[in-house]
Amino acid sequence: MALTLFRWDTRGSTGPADWAQALIDVADPEEAAGLASDVRTYLPSIEQWEQLKLYGTRQWLAIRSAEVPEAWATAVAQAAPGQLPPGAIAYTISGVRHREGIWDEAVIATTSSEVTFTIFLACPREGDCSLMRLSRLNEPLE
């Protein structure tokens, strides 16, 4: 899910909503509206997308680590009964976001930046997870 959040390509796509939908499709139904808002903060606006599209911009994430944050145990202990869904878990992801702009099939610009964020999941059964929420970019649960 973390890779999906950062993997987009302006070439041949109608806009950021196309990329957001893949995450909304795996949303916890009770959190879908909040998750949609979270996802929008990670993607370029429509206006930004149109500018990036001029340069065939694509983005991806190289994950360095994915760990359950120490503060998660405290959050679970402080949650009221029934407040967290079965199998709720958080992972703080650290990695490098890469962007590349292309003109006439030649790379004309590249950028890389360190990113951290936390994804909140509900995994009631092995391999059956839904995405609940995302922290703000570079404001992970510690």
pLDDT digits (tens, 9 = 90+) for 73-111: 999 999 999 999 999 999 999 999 999 998 777 888 899
Is 135's pLDDT higher than 90? yes
Residue 142 in any domain: the answer is no
Residue 141 in any domain: the answer is no
Instruction: Confirm if 130 and 1 have CB atoms less than 8 A apart.
Output: no
Residue 92 in any domain: the answer is yes
User: In DSSP terms, which residues pair with 27 in a beta bridge?
Assistant: 131
Residue 93 in any domain: the answer is yes
**What is the CATH classification number for the domain harbouring 106?**
3.10.450
To the nearest whole number, what is the mean pLDDT of the chain? 93
Mean pLDDT over 118-126 rounds to 91
pLDDT score of 103: 79
- Looking at per-residue pLDDT, the higher value among 13 and 47 belongs to 47
Is 14's pLDDT higher than 80? no
Quote the radius of gyration of the chain (alpha carbons, Å). 17
The DSSP letter of residue 82 is T
The domain total for the chain is 1
**CA-based nearest residue to 83, from 132, 131, 128:** 132
Mean pLDDT over 46-61 rounds to 93
pLDDT score of 109: 87
pTM score, whole prediction: 0.90
Is 59's pLDDT higher than 90? yes
Is 124's pLDDT higher than 90? no
| Residues of the domain holding 93 | 2-134
Residue 42 in any domain: the answer is yes
pLDDT score of 10: 93
pLDDT score of 105: 76
Packing angle, helices 32-42 and 16-24, rounded to 10: 140
